[in-house]
Amino acid sequence: MRLVGIIGAMGLEIERLCERMENRSESVFAGRTFYAGKLGGVDTVLVCSGIGKVNAAVTTQLLIDHFSVDEIINTGIAGGAHPEIRVRDVVISDTVAYHDMDPRILALSYPNLREFTADPALIKEAAQACEGKVRYRIGRVATGDQFVSDSRVKADIVSRLSPCCVEMEGGAIAHACAANGVPFVIIRCISDNADDSAEMDYDTFEQLAADDAAEIVERMLREERIRD
């Protein structure tokens, strides 16, 4: 049976899943606590990475090296960056790109990619978990070490990448997965619109959006078990 790695950047993004995990055991590597157990009947390792690209990359590599996970799901919140996307909608990654690194320079190093492509089967499972439950969109996720809360900064990112959302870890998780040949998908629920009102909306919606994303992940696992 497959082993699924799940990463959230902040405690509030993994809390709900952690509470629901059965037969939970804990181990610590590089200051991160990894929770192993069953979620929705599926063997899972859940971890809070910390915020930003370096934390996300370190955690992804630890998850791969110490647990040999077969696939990785990133759950969490994001700023909306598409005209048709509203707060509490879910974004499922098809591609993931850095908005704070020149893609030509990125592609000079292994795995020599300008952006990273999510696993089609995981995208399909995530979409099925959303179907009839929440508004969702499959598209590009843009990652950078910056909380985007300025309309001009957002407009610049949108003009270069046309993403569905902006966040701070997905690209690094995708990058580490690509380097190791591990399939991944990023699932983010929108907490704000990454513009001048972002900080206010974020405070109101962060927990609600984090729980929405976690619920989709849990449903993905449950539905997949039923299909097996």
Footprint of ligand ADE (CB under 6 A): 77-79, 147-149, 166-168, 191-192, 194, 198, 202
Q: How far is the CB of 170 from ligand ADE (least distance, A)?
A: 10
Nearer to ligand ADE, 42 or 142 (CB): 142
* C-beta of residue 161 within 8 angstroms of C-beta of residue 82: no
To the query of whether residue 13 is one of the catalytic residues in this protein, the response is: yes
> 167, 192, 206, 212: which is the annotated catalytic residue?
192
Q: How far is the CB of 56 from ligand ADE (least distance, A)?
A: 12
∠99-185-81 over CA atoms, to 5°? 40
d(CA 167, CA 192): 11
Nearer to ligand ADE, 42 or 189 (CB): 189
Q: How far is the CB of 187 from ligand ADE (least distance, A)?
A: 13
SS3 199: helix
d(CA 57, CA 40): 26
Find the residue with minimal CB distance to ligand ADE: 79
Q: How far is the CB of 43 from ligand ADE (least distance, A)?
A: 29
Nearer to ligand ADE, 106 or 190 (CB): 190
Taking the CB of residue 22, how many other CB atoms lie within 10 A of it?
Answer: 10
Q: How far is the CB of 168 from ligand ADE (least distance, A)?
A: 5
Q: Could you tell me the CA-to-CA distances from 204 to 8, 188, 197, 207, 219 in Å, in that order?
A: 19, 16, 11, 8, 25
Nearer to ligand ADE, 69 or 194 (CB): 194
d(CA 81, CA 158): 7
Nearer to ligand ADE, 100 or 131 (CB): 100
Region for 225 from its dihedrals, namely left if φ exceeds 0, alpha if ψ lies in -120 to 50, beta otherwise: alpha
Taking the CB of residue 160, how many other CB atoms lie within 10 A of it?
Answer: 12
Instruction: Count the alpha carbons within 13 Å of 50 in the hemisphere toward its beta carbon.
Output: 12
To the query of whether residue 84 is one of the catalytic residues in this protein, the response is: no
**Residues carrying an active site annotation:** 13, 192
